[in-house]
Structure 1
Amino acid sequence: MSTAAAAQKKKFTFGLLPQIVVAIALGVLFGNFFPDWLTRVFVTFNGVFGQFLGFAIPLIILGLIAPAIAELGRGAGRWLAITAALAYSSTLLAGFLGLSTSLIVLPRVLPEGGAPSLTNPDEALLAPYFSLEIPPLFGVMSALVLAFIVGVAMTVIQGDSLQRGFLEFREVINLVIQKILIPLLPIYIFGIFLNMTQGGQVATVIATFLGVVVFVFILTWIMLLLQYTVAGVITGKNPIKMLVTMLPAYATALGTSSSAATIPVTLRQAIKMGVSQPVAAFAIPLNATIHLAGSTIKITCFSMAVMMLAGMEINVGVMIGFVMMLGVMMVAAPGVPGGAIMTAAGLLSTMLGFSEAQVGLMIAAYIAIDSFGTATNVTGDGALAAIVDKWVSRSKHRDELGDEAAVRAAA
């Protein structure tokens, strides 16, 4: 009876995406008639939550990236390094694809003149009842550099005390994200759209982002076709058949929105696609952790859309650096729900100069199609696994030829 009740409770769980959709809808609806005193309650909440988010972001970067780098440095030696480099290259390709196409397409899709008033609605409307300053312990770049130093050091030094401490710190960060940030996000998003409605910009923003969502969805499939075309050329297989074989993993990720939860299906389909079992068992779980091509496309395109809407200057050199840094920071993101956009929030505010409300818009837009990005990530994992499998087989063949030559020479 208790098992059935637990199953029933799990069945009717109200997920994060529906919560965000409801929060946006209610924010738009209530923004038309909420009294000022009630709106100020949510303005105050958004101010405090934004301060806490700014405080947490450097800790999120340090707590997730440092142990992730340490874990990458152990295990399968050079094949781990090769797989990681391949995953990073794919993620960079996705980011530059999103950047280049956004520069060409978005100016033709977005409203002419953008929406220059798309700034922090808290500043344009009502003041909070009170404000609370929560300065971060260190900046985003300091956190990133420290994460690299500590992460690389943990792959070199003897002993596991430091790594065990950072693994426990990662659990603390995961709890902060899962128990504080993610549950409060719908209220935060509600407050943002409540203020935007009163500011008269919500209709433009919603209409605009619907178009951007379609644009990003098309880009994710272009990315998948590129990945499997390269994999097909390297392995000598039909890329379309390879992609079709991986579609069950894509469909599973659409339902779960979780790379980790989809690993069993991704692993099964990769083996069915022809990847050897040892390579698949190694590459699929690793890529589920470090390969975020779909997420990178989404964040890059949505950030470009927000900047164009707000009339912000777009420096291509800065955007290239942003994509490269984003690819590094995405390594730690899949371990927690919403981790990709939460980790990227620091880069958005520091490198691109996003306001609190603009970061909130990014979070809302990202989560709105979270499952499509995850599906792109895990489906692309199959292409990378096939490439690694081909290289491994070639290496083994060369080693076998070398052993035979050595035997003949000895004889």
Structure 2
Amino acid sequence: MLRKFGLLPRIITAIILGILIGSISPQWLIKIFSTFNGIFGNFLGFVIPLIIIGFIAPGIAEMGKGAGKMLGITTLIAYGSTITAGLLAFVAGLAFLPSFISGYRLEEMENPEEFLQQPFFQIDMPPLMGVMSALLLSFILGIGMAVIKGDALQQVFVNFRQIIEKLISKVIIPLLPFHIFGIFANMTYGGQVAFILSVFAKVFALIIALHITMLFIQYVTSGAIARKNPLKLLKVMLPAYFTALGTQSSAATIPVTLRQVKQTGVQEKVADFTVPLLATIHLSGSTITLVSCAMGVILLNGQMPDFASIFPFILMLGITMIAAPGVPGGAVMASLGLLESMLGFNQTMLTLMIALYLAQDSFGTATNVTGDGALTVLVNKITKSKKEQALSA
């Protein structure tokens, strides 16, 4: 029954119930919620390095054993699209978000103890290593496995990834609504929730507009290079878009994406290779959401996001998106380490990020999947041109 009740409805229900119960609950009950939040937040901090290693290391290793030039071309195009999406979100965020959030400030984010009720007790769960250590180790292991063709070691990490996927899908994702419920109940009790919801609505509208803009950029670019009508290409890919809205998973939408991409005239062997790969490494919609949400939370914290801090975050996000598993909320889970280490987010800020991201996860996934179609058309044109040049030579 719970599976039929999707993640988005659960998140919305958690926020509504958190506000209602937080407005009438006694202090001792809020402290119980806070105790759960503290334990779950510490567990999340412990798991973050494991998520990074579990997905990035085998992901890089598997990419290294792909089809040579086509792998390189596809990866570069996907990374370029992701970085473009991040920069688009940064420029739009800088233009609109300060006015959206003007007059709103959650000063207590820096010192949440000033307005959030503290737990009855805490359980320390120190992570095995820092986020940057996990990233470096993942790169070393992933590249090393690809170079030496270490099948045995790679299989170990593939199995480890499956364990982390189960942990995310069976433990973390089901418990997130309760975590978000507790945070919103606590913030309501402290009188902070009204303007947060107002900001959420405005940021959400901006994100949807940016998703649409990014899809037009992708299809106009690929259509111009492949000499095809971008609107017709986009129309063909709409079934994949709406399928992803329902599944909230790029991986689960692969069969539909593959079928629609082939209807655009792409070679079958190109589609069969690029679509599953792009479902793993190309998350332009999710990047837009993460960058926009991060800037919104930074502004709520009374700071102004700048290019010097956001651009390195975008560059690393493009790599870290490889770690996003094919489960709802995978992208935000994979990015928590970067938000913490590069942008200095604390647990309250991370929870707000999770809540805002998951509230529109299906739209970000739909943008990712639909963008895969445009990138596949581009890869098909480039590889076809290279083959024609080789034949003519």
TM interval, short-chain normalised: over 0.9
Quick check: 152-161 or 368-377, which moved more? 152-161
CA contact (8 A) 1:43 1:122 kept: no
1:206 aligns with 2:192: no
Instruction: Describe how 1:41-56 pairs up with structure 2 within 5 A.
Output: 41-56=32-47
Residue segments in structure 2 that go unaligned for 5+ positions in a row: none
The superposition leaves residues 143-200 of structure 1 with CA deviations (integer Å, 9 ceiling, x where unpaired) of: 0011000000000114411111111111111121112211110110001101110121
Q: Secondary structure at the match of 2:108?
A: coil
Q: Secondary structure at the match of 2:221?
A: helix
Query: Equivalent residue for 1:341?
Result: 332
Query: Equivalent residue for 2:154?
Result: 163
Q: Against the structure 1 CA distance between its residues 67 and 120, is the aligned structure 2 distance closer, same or farther, given a 3 Å change threshold?
A: farther
Query: Equivalent residue for 2:168?
Result: 177
CA contact (8 A) 1:235 1:387 kept: yes
CA contact (8 A) 1:120 1:357 kept: no
Instruction: Describe how 1:143-158 pairs up with structure 2 within 5 A.
Output: 143-158=134-149
1:381 aligned partner, one-letter code: D
Q: Against the structure 1 CA distance between its residues 164 and 41, is the aligned structure 2 distance closer, same or farther, given a 3 Å change threshold?
A: same
TM-score under structure 1 length normalisation:
0.93
Residue segments in structure 1 that go unaligned for 5+ positions in a row: 1-8, 403-411
CA drift of 1:78 comes to 1.2
RMSD: 1.4
Q: Percent identity?
A: 53
CA contact (8 A) 1:23 1:189 kept: yes
1:112 aligned partner, one-letter code: G
1:60 & 1:292 partners in 2: Cα distance? 17
1:226 aligns with 2:217: yes
CA contact (8 A) 1:121 1:196 kept: no
Query: Equivalent residue for 2:301?
Result: 310
CA drift of 1:375 comes to 0.5
TM-score under structure 2 length normalisation:
0.97
Instruction: Describe how 1:325-336 pairs up with structure 2 within 5 A.
Output: 325-336=316-327
1:189 aligns with 2:198: no
Q: 1:97 aligns with which of 71, 74, 88?
A: 88
Query: Equivalent residue for 1:389?
Result: 380
Q: Against the structure 1 CA distance between its residues 184 and 375, is the aligned structure 2 distance closer, same or farther, given a 3 Å change threshold?
A: same
1:355 aligns with 2:349: no
2:186 & 2:111 partners in 1: Cα distance? 9
1:164 & 1:395 partners in 2: Cα distance? 34
Instruction: Describe how 1:9-408 pairs up with structure 2 within 5 A.
Output: 13-112=4-103, 114-119=105-110, 121-122=112-113, 124-402=115-393
CA contact (8 A) 1:121 1:199 kept: no
1:364 & 1:159 partners in 2: Cα distance? 39
Q: Tell me the number of residue pairs that the alignment of Structure 1 and Structure 2 aligns.
A: 393
- Structure with greater Cα Rg: 1
2:28 aligned partner, one-letter code: W
Q: Secondary structure at the match of 2:319?
A: helix
